[in-house]
Amino acid sequence: MEYNFEYYKKAADYILKIVGHDVEIGLILGSSIGSVKEIIDVEKIIDYKDIPNFLISTAEGHEGKLIIGEVKGKKVVAMSGRFHYYEGYTFEQLSIPIRVFKLLGVKKVILTNAAGAINKSYKPGDIVLIKDHIKLTGSSPLRGKNIEEFGPRFFDVTDMYTERLRKLAKTIAKKESIDVKEGVYFFATGPQFETKAEIKAMGILGADLVGMSTVTEALTAAHTNIEVLAMSLVTNMAAGIVDKKITTEEVEEIGKLSRDKLKKFISSIIEAM
């Protein structure tokens, strides 16, 4: 399969034909965070399976729908359900959502995820703004022939997690009395949770959080010159940090307990963007 400009344009053209207008802000909802879609005044909902050249979400709890509408007067497109390497997709395929967002007119994207805490000062329910990441998997969503319409072959990522947007988010959090932290996210491919030794190594390297998403989307956004605000909801302590097993039920429970806080926070951020 050749992933050229026309490949992504076919998906975007299908969406634009249904929606009838560009959108400004993209939103990708991670595991246990799907309830944030409730902040959207919905115009259209499109199943992923109906979009040409798009992917299908197979992860449990990921709805697999594209939601277009407004939040506080801002035109948004939201992915209720994302795609992961552990589902069997290649890194190159994981570039599809953000490149389609770019062709829909998106200038800024909010990436959310559920993550395990490596930093012992964190606790389940904390919101952590991602300021940087560590990815040692050896591949990239930008591998292969460069598509100049999206960006240059070699590109800078020093402000990939846009500092301006993090400052905005921290200002809003302070105003609304929402405790937020900042941290470094370690990308793991999954689907298994990490071993105790892996978590210890990640901590030594400087990671505060670990998860199985977000990084491929952030890299693609940086290539296409989309500003990124990424945040993790801490849903569990990582392996070995506390003496208990990690379960998907724990992830889902913390998501339910944190949904009102997240909805309020993200809604206010979009309004201020």
Q: How many beta carbons lie within 10 A of that of residue 107, not counting itself?
A: 15
pLDDT digits (tens, 9 = 90+) for 41-99: 999 999 999 999 999 988 766 678 999 999 999 999 999 989 999 999 999 999 999 99
The Cα–Cα gap between 118 and 132 comes to 15
Record the tokens describing residue 26, joined without a space.
């993209």
The DSSP result for 152-165, as a single string, is -SS---TTSB-HHH
**Phi, then psi, of 236 in degrees rounded to 5:** -165, 160
Give the pLDDT band (50/70/90) at residue 239. Answer: confident
pTM for the structure as a whole: 0.95
Domains defined for the chain, CATH in brackets: 5-272 (3.40.50.1580)
The Cα–Cα gap between 99 and 155 comes to 16
Q: What is the pLDDT of residue 73?
A: 94
The SS3 of residue 125 is: coil
The Cα–Cα gap between 230 and 238 comes to 20
